[in-house]
Amino acid sequence: MRFCYVKCLLVAAFSLFSGFIFAQDHGGKTEKPKNESFNANEVIFGHVLDAHEFHFLSYKDGDGKEDDDIANSYFIGKSLGAIYDYTFDGIIQTEDTAFIRQYGGRPGDIKLKDLNNNGKIDPDDRSIIGYTKPNYSLSFSNTLSYKNLELYFMFSTIQGGGKDNYYLASNQFAQNPNTLFAGVANWLDKPYWMPDHPSNTTPRPNYSNTYSYKFSQGHSFIRLQDVILSYQLDNKLLANTPVKNLKVYIAGKNLLTWTKWEGLDPETATTFASVNGFPVMKTVTFGLDVSF
Amino acid sequence: MMKRLTYTALFLFLVVFAGCKKDDEFLKETPGDFLTIDNAFLNYAQFKTGLNELYRQVRLDYNNRDNGDDFFHFGSGTDNIFVPVPAGAAFTDWSLINPTRGIFNDVFTRHFQIIYNANNILAQSENPAVSLTDEQKLTVQAEARLFRAYGYRYLSYMFGGVPIIDKPATTPNLAFTRNTRAEVYDFCIKDLEFASANLPTTTSEPGRLVKAAADHYLAEMYIALGDETKNSSLYTKAIEAATRVIDGTDGDYHLMTERFGWRKDVPGKNVFWDMFQMRSPSSQSNYNYQSGNKEAIWVMQIDKFLTGGLNTTLPTRTDQERAFWPSFWALEKFGYSGPARDWMGRGISMVRPTNYFTYYLWNAADSNDMRNSPVNIQRVFYAPDPIINGKEVPNYDTTYKTNVTLFDGSKIVVSLKPGDPIKKEWLTSRQDTMERVFPRVMKMGSDWHYNGDPSNGFAQESYAIRLAETYLVRAEAYMKAGNPDLAAADINVVRDRAGATPVTPGEVNIDYILDERIRELFGEELHTLTLCRLGLLYDRTKRFGQIESQQTVMPKNNLMPIPQAVIDANNQADFPQNPGY
């Protein structure tokens, strides 16, 4: 009965062009193609089949200016990984009657900004609210020795934020738990908006995310990735044994993580209840290193 | 030495370039280890496999996921059904309907996929490498074109004009523009005319498209184009097309008037009930024409025990019962105590009939209407038999006591024996009447389940086209062509079968026809499409919708919003949103 064949080209061209376009990201910005020559540090567009079709992708719709590609999040002059979404402006409160009259919604819904002031919330009110890319990543390690004791540790961190709001990821399950299980939302302990318990950050429990807002959240983190404490037995004590060298150690992996991300693994932005997601495993190893 | 080198160089030169005859041929790939359109579809059996994918995609319109939004096109938020849980949900509250709502992207994409796949089959059927007889080729093309028309019919009714694409896309295009609705209708009609001329009248394969299906859609689309272009001559063509279905030209069809099917001996039921009985454990279907249902024109095939008989997105059951039935099994009062039993079904009220459907649609004087009999719409619920030692025991003397708070705030204790009716005045909470107890439209579910399991033992076919609808389509055409007598006559064929009082020609108007459609086709037809086609979604909802829908529906809702993802992606040309969104 069922039969699957070639991926739907039309729809690919319609809603998702990734079949045709590849982009190379070397940390640069999206720029106009310059005389069809491409700098490796800029976004370049190519057609997987034919080079001459570069023309097609040079972004001209006849109005004389280069166009952004919202569907693929390529914005001229902006970094890759732009998140194009509505601007969150708190939660609609019971007393916001003027807002409700103008824009609809109910107390406890999220409040979005009417950026172009046209009196309604529509797709034109979306803008770049941040980026998925990190600002920087860093790791720091050191070994401290005292007599026979040795302590090795390594911290790693990926940081976003800043004025352009880097390193965001969508986190609807945590920010609007109703997205996952409609109608039975309170499976997360959150300060939900309630008439007697107003909140300006978390919508009411059964909010159905009318505008498909992505609820982007920063997932910067600092992690104590490795720590090893070891003790080297004095060789003098081993002089009369066949043992040449003896070391005892205890090693820990991923013991501590500091992050504001509400989910499983901040590094991969894994959300709660994600199908293939796992939290980062903590490991503790005890060891004895003996050589003869 | 020098000579040898020269010869070697010459030899290598020849070897390297000997293969290059023509650039085109040199570059042409012949895939040996994966499928493309060119090598997957070469004979009739392969083409039929390709067409099966289209049947599967259309079936998703009737049963897709375990998700209330997938049922929206059966009319959610309009005059027949609404979404009761939670309060103020989308498709009850129309102010929540906007271009970023996922379901619009789902259906838009799905129907363009149908069109894309049909286009590929059509293009490949003309490939000289294909071994099809002329007759096979015409059948394949007729089926593919009907599917293409089906896709465009859905899209143009629901979203208005969309781009007409009549061949497979081979180059990327980000500059689609919207054709007008009339152009799309016209395109569909040409496909349907071809399908009508070339499809067989009968088939031994249940669910396969036949000529009557093409003519049914053709009749409806002539009306749609007639409305759109104010060309009344098209109503005559609509009448002709529908007549071919009704008068036997397209095969032997008639409304079922006698009890039939594998449960025809179940006492106390009627023929309308027989029409919606789930496949027997030995796979006898009451839905299919091939098994004697002469009213069935096109049936979505479902079989729980056959590979491919259900969707991958809903692999253990179909969801009509769950979506349309109340969760009275979960009342936890009046003797109901938890898990659903076999005869209860396991509804979770994703959608609920409107008050208009439950009360106003059925004229009090018309008590004979079979479709409104307790056999087909259960309005009174009774305290169940108790379960003793894991078994339901009939005639057991027990009393259920329930604390009830009445509307006026007074508290009483209700004592019921098994079989006693649950009175309306005891149902006073929102949950009571919106989720747990409301009229149960019996055709959406079943009183028995495979393996006695109400959760996953339900798997029922769906009618995409039933002859009763063809009569109502022709009635609409007659009415619009200025012939209310014949319009009334057609409606009365449908009403007669149900034992309802005949309609007089003077009473026939579009409201009456829409009411009759709901009475006859509730939960079967994609009612939202019908209302969008007629441009009456706003008007009907404003008058007959559930109160929250009446308060929030706006004229813009006569068309659904183009999904924002489509507009965003089409960045080389303007793709205007429907007005108002």
Lowest-confidence pick of A56-70, A83-97, A228-242, B159-173: A56-70
Q: To the nearest whole angstrom, how far is the Cα of A8 from the nearest Cα of chain B?
A: 6
Q: A3 and B96: CB-CB below 8 Å? A: no
pLDDT of residue A227: 96
Q: To the nearest whole angstrom, how far is the Cα of A247 from the nearest Cα of chain B?
A: 56
pLDDT of residue B512: 96
CB contacts, 8 Å: B99 with chain A: 122-123
* pLDDT score of B413 more than 70: yes
One DSSP character per residue, B133-167 reads -HHHHHHHHHHHHHHHHHHHHHHHHHHS------S
Q: A9 and B168: CB-CB below 8 Å? A: yes
User: Averaged over B125-152, what is the pLDDT?
Assistant: 96
CB contacts, 8 Å: B124 with chain A: none
Q: A9 and B49: CB-CB below 8 Å? A: no
Q: To the nearest whole angstrom, how far is the Cα of B579 from the nearest Cα of chain A?
A: 12
Per-residue CA distances from B127 to B52, B131, B323 (Å): 20, 9, 45
pLDDT of residue B118: 97
pLDDT of residue A57: 45
pLDDT grade, residue B170 (50/70/90)?
confident
pLDDT of residue A88: 95
How many CB pairs (< 8 A) connect A and B?
Answer: 126
Rounded CA-CA distance B81/B160 in Å is 23
pLDDT of residue B22: 60
Q: To the nearest whole angstrom, how far is the Cα of B413 from the nearest Cα of chain A?
A: 30
User: Could you give the count of Cα atoms lying within 13 Å of B144 in the half-sphere of its Cβ?
Assistant: 27
| Contacts with A, B 49-68, CB within 8 Å | 49-50, 52-53, 55-56
pLDDT of residue B88: 84
Cβ of residue A247 closer than 8 Å to a chain B Cβ: no
pLDDT of residue A236: 86
pLDDT of residue A292: 86
User: Averaged over B410-428, what is the pLDDT?
Assistant: 96
Average pLDDT, rounded, for chain A: 78
Cβ of residue A54 closer than 8 Å to a chain B Cβ: no
Residue with the bigger pLDDT between A58 and B376: it is B376
SS3 A121: coil
Per-residue CA distances from B268 to B373, B422, B528 (Å): 11, 22, 34
A211: nearest CB among B89, B98, B581: B98
pTM listed for this prediction: 0.85
Cβ of residue B102 closer than 8 Å to a chain A Cβ: yes
Write the pLDDT tens digit of every residue in A108-142. 999 999 999 999 899 999 999 999 999 999 999 99
Rounded CA-CA distance B367/A172 in Å is 51
In contact, B283 and B303? CB cutoff 8 Å: yes
CB contacts, 8 Å: A11 with chain B: 109, 112-113, 116
Q: To the nearest whole angstrom, how far is the Cα of A232 from the nearest Cα of chain B?
A: 59
Rounded CA-CA distance B90/B84 in Å is 10
Lowest-confidence pick of A129-143, B17-31, B85-99: B17-31
Residue with the bigger pLDDT between B289 and A105: it is B289
Containing B53, the helix (H) or strand (E) segment is helix B44-59
A11: nearest CB among B40, B109, B309: B109
Q: Write the Ramachandran bin of A81: left for phi over 0, alpha for psi from -120 to 50, otherwise beta.
A: left
Partner residues linked to B299 by β-bridges: B463
pLDDT of residue A29: 47
A 10 A CB-CB count for A162 gives 12
Cβ of residue B170 closer than 8 Å to a chain A Cβ: yes
Write the pLDDT tens digit of every residue in B420-440. 999 999 999 999 999 999 999
User: Averaged over B483-493, what is the pLDDT?
Assistant: 97
Cβ of residue B551 closer than 8 Å to a chain A Cβ: no
pLDDT of residue A34: 39
CB contacts, 8 Å: A181 with chain B: none
Lowest-confidence pick of A230-244, B188-202, B282-296: A230-244
Cβ of residue A56 closer than 8 Å to a chain B Cβ: yes
| Contacts with A, B 291-330, CB within 8 Å | 301, 306-309, 312
Q: A56 and B564: CB-CB below 8 Å? A: no
Q: A11 and B112: CB-CB below 8 Å? A: yes
CB contacts, 8 Å: A211 with chain B: 98, 100
Lowest-confidence pick of A199-203, B351-355, B554-558: A199-203
Q: To the nearest whole angstrom, how far is the Cα of A210 from the nearest Cα of chain B?
A: 6
Write the pLDDT tens digit of every residue in B45-85. 999 999 999 999 999 999 999 989 999 999 999 999 999 98
Q: Which residues contact B310 (CB under 8 A, 6 or more apart)?
A: B302, B303, B304, B316, B317, B318, B459
Q: A2 and B52: CB-CB below 8 Å? A: yes
User: Averaged over B524-541, what is the pLDDT?
Assistant: 98
Partner residues linked to B235 by β-bridges: none
User: Could you give the count of Cα atoms lying within 13 Å of B24 in the half-sphere of its Cβ?
Assistant: 0
pLDDT of residue B281: 93
Residue with the bigger pLDDT between B234 and A16: it is B234
CB contacts, 8 Å: B171 with chain A: 53, 56
> What are the domain boundaries of chain A?
9-80, 85-131+172-211, 136-166+219-291
Rounded CA-CA distance A77/A156 in Å is 30
User: Averaged over A70-92, what is the pLDDT?
Assistant: 90
* pLDDT score of A52 more than 80: no
CB contacts, 8 Å: B308 with chain A: 1-2
pLDDT of residue A183: 64
Cβ of residue A40 closer than 8 Å to a chain B Cβ: no
Q: Taking the CA atoms of chain A, what radius of gyration do you get in angstroms? A: 27
Lowest-confidence pick of A24-38, B145-159, B494-508: A24-38
pLDDT grade, residue A49 (50/70/90)?
very low
pLDDT of residue B14: 59
pLDDT grade, residue B349 (50/70/90)?
very high
Residue in A with minimal Cα distance to B95: A104
In contact, B265 and B251? CB cutoff 8 Å: no
Residue with the bigger pLDDT between B278 and A27: it is B278
% chain A with pLDDT above 70: 76
* pLDDT score of A13 more than 60: no
In contact, A13 and B169? CB cutoff 8 Å: yes
Residue with the bigger pLDDT between B465 and A209: it is B465
User: Averaged over B306-317, what is the pLDDT?
Assistant: 92
pLDDT of residue A188: 84
CB contacts, 8 Å: B112 with chain A: 8, 10-11, 14
Containing A228, the helix (H) or strand (E) segment is strand A221-232
Lowest-confidence pick of A46-60, B133-147, B271-285, B384-398: A46-60
pLDDT grade, residue B15 (50/70/90)?
low
Per-residue CA distances from A272 to A148, A177, A180, A224, B148 (Å): 44, 10, 10, 22, 41
% chain B with pLDDT above 70: 96
B390-420: burial string, b at 16+ Cβ within 10 Å, e else: eeeeeeeeeebebebeeeeeeeeebebebee
A 10 A CB-CB count for B142 gives 22
pLDDT of residue A64: 59
Q: B569 and A14: CB-CB below 8 Å? A: yes
Cβ of residue A3 closer than 8 Å to a chain B Cβ: yes
Instruction: Name the token pair of B115.
Output: 């069109």
Cβ of residue B571 closer than 8 Å to a chain A Cβ: yes
SS3 A166: strand
Residue in B with minimal Cα distance to A214: B100
Q: To the nearest whole angstrom, how far is the Cα of B205 from the nearest Cα of chain A?
A: 12
pLDDT grade, residue B19 (50/70/90)?
low
pLDDT grade, residue B558 (50/70/90)?
very high
Q: Which of B571, B575, B577 to mutate to test the interface with A (most CBs of A within 10 A)?
A: B571
Per-residue CA distances from B107 to A53, B82, B151, B154, B155 (Å): 31, 19, 10, 9, 8
Average pLDDT, rounded, for chain B: 93
pLDDT of residue A51: 33
CB contacts, 8 Å: B50 with chain A: 3, 5
DSSP 8-state code for residue B423: P
A67: nearest CB among B85, B308, B571: B571
pLDDT of residue A10: 30
Cβ of residue B34 closer than 8 Å to a chain A Cβ: no
pLDDT of residue A162: 86
Q: Where are the alpha helices (DSSP H) in B386-526?
A: 430-431, 467-480, 484-497, 510-521
pLDDT grade, residue A24 (50/70/90)?
very low
